[in-house]
Amino acid sequence: MNAPPLLVGLAVLFWGWQADLLAFAAPLAALLEGARLVKARWDFSDADYGRIWTLCVVLFAGVAVYAFTSNDGAGAVGSFFNTNNPAVRNNAMTQGTRAVLVFIRWLPFVFVPMIVAQAYGRRERIDLAVFSGLVRRLRRLRPSAERSPGVNVAMPFFSICLTGAAAANSRGPGFFIGLSVLLCWALWPRRSKRYPVPVWLGLAAVVIAMGFFAARGMLQLHRVVEMLQAEWMAGMFNARGREGSESVTSIGKHGRLNLSGRVVMRVDPGPGVHEPPLLRTSSFDVFRSPVWSANRRTFAEVLGGTEVTTWTLLPGKAPGNELTVHVSLAKSSDALSLPPGTGELRNLPVAEVRTNRFGSVIVVETPGFVSYVARYGPGATLDGPTNESDLVVPPAERMAIGGIAEELNLASFTPAEKLKAVAQFFARHFSYTQNLETDRSAPAGETPLATFLMRQRAGHCEYFATATVLLLRQAGVPARYATGYSVDEKDRGRGKGYVVRERHGHAWCLAYVGDRWVDFDTTPGIWRAGEYQRGSSWEPVRDWLSRMWFEFSRWRTQQSGIRPYLIGMVAVSAAIIIIRLVQKRQWRRAGTTAETPGRATMRLGEDSEFFEIERRLGTLGHVRDPGETHIAWLARLESAELDTRGLCELHALHSRYRFDPAGLDTAERAQLRSRAAAWLSTQSATSKSGTSETTARA
């Protein structure tokens, strides 16, 4: 190996120490350094090296799959691009970074077959064509072109070991000391001989000290940035209320309300469920236009059931219906979307489940992608009893709300009749739209909700839900504002179940009637058809990609039966490559001369007769300069009016013999030998003739 003694072995041990893989690294280091003690070498051909490189590629893919599936890196990437929530994105970046670091930490393992093959092979360098299909293609197009001497993989593997050790993210002094020692040992043979050893060592010590203090400074800066990031994320967390503290509506905004067609979840109804209900995420009781917030939203922990992944939300309830929700959750914590009256959750592998009196359900430490089963039914719900905030109408809205309530004579009705009257009022006099224009006839100081009720009488679900809640409160019926999703669009890609898109996000009213909370939605049903028509022409493409991601997520979390087959395919591929290496004379002990009939055994080309021609011309004063290619050298000889006839053709045969994986067949090899001998004999005769003439003149 083209590396100082013990350097690669020590680098492997250093990697194993830092990556906590010393049990694997120690035998590997002994194997690599033991090659210096073993004289026998194996004569690998370029085809052999190609198979070994293919094995490395298979290992590369396997390590990548392992790193990203075991650390939810793929799910983190999807979460990052599929949400605008800063807390979720921060968590996704953390998970994605962890997956990348695991992948880098295992990189030395990927290239072990190649470094071992070079250590015990006859070649000091491996042809670049082994690693690059582009190089092979260029050589087929220009077979006579000068060939690269190849690459020695020892130092690249050394660099990979240092990178893998750094990915372990050890912050102790051992990493810096070990790294410094290895770098000095690698640079020692290549140091400039112009300077004395003490000077070189002194400069190295200065550089190491500067690097140490710079690393300490970067570590302190990193801690400061982490602290500031945590504070910023905490502020964003409280401002946005990702766990149900508030909902910022679009009430008062003008123009078209644009929502994405991104698929946020998939829903599979259970037996007997023909039409899935609304899936609620949160509910709120305090309105300060345009924000709904939750007052006294303390969460309580839910005790797990008899199974690790089963959580009982309403003890004693026997739900009769169920549906399965497939969704990607934030790793740290996230809110679930559940049907009304959910009493039990199954197949939910999380560390903790919390609920509050507004029916919100928060899960902590999720695996990312989950497929949980929600069992629900009529009767009891997670919502707590009513309080004074469930009857409050904001002062700014009382004039408009009171006028409508008086117009409908709501005070004279029973609670059930009040709901019916409000529903008829919106159905007869209002329409649904997501494109709100500015009403210039509205007097100054009139609230957007009052304009909706008194003038425009058109709006989206947030207007209808807010107005309904306040009208019922004005009539003495406790009510809350709920948010979640409507489940209406069939999943055509799977042929079963439903897809829920971001634009299916919905708001409605919760009304307390008959001693229980019930969903009460007054938004005109036409909004569902309108949302479906808003799909872009690219939506089928995005849906297909989402479908592929869904299947991959199921496989990654072992919810699909194809994972064992994929692992088996990788193992079989690796086994086939290894078998191909050891069968049919693919491995030959150094010194053997066996040849395949009709074709010479592929050699490095050290015995090419063209080297004898080069030496002969050197004795005549035509020495090839260091670093000068043969083609450039021959062109220089020709410009010096030296007879180089036939040398270009000989050089083309020599290049193929030296570098082409196919080599020369028996006839071509004989041609190189005979033509070189003829040229050398001609030069010998010319040299003798010149010597005789010189003697005669003397």
* pLDDT at residue number 87: 52
* For the ranges 167-181, 244-258, 403-417, 434-448, the one whose mean pLDDT is highest: 403-417
Residue 624: pLDDT band (50, 70, 90) is confident
Asked whether 166 and 101 are in contact (CB, 8 A), the reply is: no
In a domain, 419, yes or no: yes
647 in the same domain as 580: no
Percent of the chain surpassing pLDDT 90: 27
How many alpha carbons fall within 13 Å on the CB side of residue 180? Answer: 17
Q: N- to C-terminal Cα distance for the chain?
A: 56
Residue 600: pLDDT band (50, 70, 90) is very low
465 in the same domain as 341: yes
User: 23-37, 340-354, 427-441, 652-666: which has the minimum mean pLDDT?
Assistant: 652-666
Residue 405: pLDDT band (50, 70, 90) is very high
86 in the same domain as 34: yes
Residue 643 has pLDDT above 50, yes or no: yes
In a domain, 163, yes or no: yes
* pLDDT at residue number 143: 66
* pLDDT at residue number 673: 87
Residue 365: pLDDT band (50, 70, 90) is confident
User: 77-91, 212-226, 269-283, 533-547: which has the minimum mean pLDDT?
Assistant: 77-91
**Which whole number is the average pLDDT over 234-253?**
61
Residue 301 has pLDDT above 80, yes or no: yes
In a domain, 622, yes or no: yes
* pLDDT at residue number 168: 76
47 in the same domain as 147: yes
Single-letter amino acid, residue 66: Y
Residue 400 has pLDDT above 90, yes or no: yes
566 in the same domain as 553: no
User: 100-114, 176-190, 403-417, 562-576: which has the minimum mean pLDDT?
Assistant: 562-576
User: 389-398, 459-468, 520-529, 563-572: which has the minimum mean pLDDT?
Assistant: 563-572
Number of domains the chain contains: 3
Residue 60 has pLDDT above 70, yes or no: yes
300 in the same domain as 448: yes
In a domain, 435, yes or no: yes
* pLDDT at residue number 698: 43
- Final residue belonging to a domain, choices 549, 584, 619: 584
Residue 592: pLDDT band (50, 70, 90) is very low
* pLDDT at residue number 105: 87
Measure the CA–CA gap between 393 and 283, rounded to whole angstroms: 16
**Tens digits of per-residue pLDDT, 194-242?**
888 888 888 888 888 888 888 777 767 766 665 555 444 444 433 333 4
Using CA atoms, how far residue 196 sits from 15, 188, 199, 205, 476, in Å, is 32, 12, 5, 15, 95
541 in the same domain as 408: yes
525 in the same domain as 388: yes
Residue 583 has pLDDT above 60, yes or no: no
316 in the same domain as 171: no
**Which whole number is the average pLDDT over 509-515?**
94
Neighbours of 278 (CB within 10 A): 18
Residue 69 has pLDDT above 80, yes or no: no
632 in the same domain as 519: no
Residue 337: pLDDT band (50, 70, 90) is very high
34 in the same domain as 67: yes
**Tens digits of per-residue pLDDT, 627-636?**
788 888 888 8
Residue 141 has pLDDT above 80, yes or no: no
CA dihedral (654, 659, 665, 668) in degrees, to 10, reads -10
Single-letter amino acid, residue 235: G
* pLDDT at residue number 695: 43
In a domain, 214, yes or no: no
In a domain, 220, yes or no: no
**Tens digits of per-residue pLDDT, 165-201?**
888 766 677 888 888 888 888 888 888 778 888 888 8
In a domain, 207, yes or no: no
Single-letter amino acid, residue 148: S
Domain that holds residue 183: 7-190+562-584
* pLDDT at residue number 324: 94
Of the two residues 622 and 399, the one the predictor is more confident about is 399
DSSP 453: I
* pLDDT at residue number 24: 86
271 in the same domain as 160: no
DSSP 592: -
In a domain, 238, yes or no: no
Asked whether 571 and 640 are in contact (CB, 8 A), the reply is: no
Mean pLDDT of the chain: 80
The pTM of this model reads 0.53
Long-range interactions of 396-403: CB distance < 8 A, separation 24+? 396/289, 396/447, 397/287, 397/289, 397/447, 397/449, 397/450, 397/470, 398/474, 399/450, 400/447, 400/449, 400/450, 400/453, 400/454, 401/453, 401/467, 401/470, 401/471, 401/474, 402/474, 403/454
Using CA atoms, how far residue 282 sits from 238, 339, 348, 354, 503, in Å, is 15, 11, 19, 13, 17
